[in-house]
Each structure stands twice: as structure tokens, then as C-alpha cells.
Amino acid sequence: VQLQASGGGLVQPGGSLRLSCAGSGFTLADYAVGWFRQAPGKEREGVSCVGIRDGRTYYADSVKGRFAIFREHSKNTMYLQMSRLKPEDTAVYYCAVDPRPYYSGNYYLHYGDMQYWGKGTQVTVSS
């Protein structure tokens, strides 16, 4: 299982950015998926996750209404569409997947207990 994240960069406050995470060696549609982030000096936090158990999408309160997670199965790729970005969204963003069917997205969002992680991509929101 390999994950390759891309799409990070510098964006002005209020702007948009789409992160991509291409998977190889497995079928993304069969896995739980998630995006996480870690800001300088802070612990890693869940941004958005979808578990196999219920198939529902969960978002951190700080990004609800601004971010959206989705998958393109034909490309075995997941995305994080980020809109109305704020300086506090600045962080290294990581994608992750997990094959276990037992957990909901809410579990992953809070515990980050995913088996496979991609390398991070830096997002900087600044004027």
C-alpha cells in the first residue's frame, strides 16, 4: 500500500486549494480514508474521515462547511477540497487509509488510528 499526496502550496486567506492522494497497491474504494493535519508546535488532528462501518463522512468542527473529502475510484485517488482558507489552516496535511471494517469515520477523526499513511504536503495560508 502506497499513498502519494500532492497539491499543497501557498494560498491567500479566503482562497481555495485541492489536495490529492493517489493510492497504489490496493483498491481505495475498499478502504476507510482520511485527511489529517499537523501545524507547527501542535499535535496532529483529524480533518475529515470516512469509515467502512457506516460510510458516513465526518469533519472537524473547524473545517465544516469549508472542506470536502471525496474519492475518484477510476483513478484510485482521494481528494480534499479546501475553500475559504484561513491562516489557522496552515499545516502539513497527510492522507491515510485503513482496511479494517470495524470503525466509523468519527473514530478515525478522533484517534487517527489508520494503518497506512502518505507523506505530508505543506499548506500555507498567508497574505
**DSSP 8-state secondary structure symbol assigned to residue 119:** P
Q: What is the pLDDT of residue 58?
A: 97
Tell me: the pLDDT tens digits for 15-53? 999 999 999 999 999 999 999 999 999 999 999 999 999
Q: What is the pLDDT of residue 68?
A: 98
Residue 31: CA count within 13 A, CB half-sphere: 26
Q: Over the chain, what is the mean pLDDT?
A: 97
Tell me: the pLDDT tens digits for 52-72? 998 999 999 999 999 999 999
CA angle 112/30/98 to nearest 5° reads: 20
Sign of the torsion formed by the C-alpha atoms of 81, 93, 25 and 28: negative
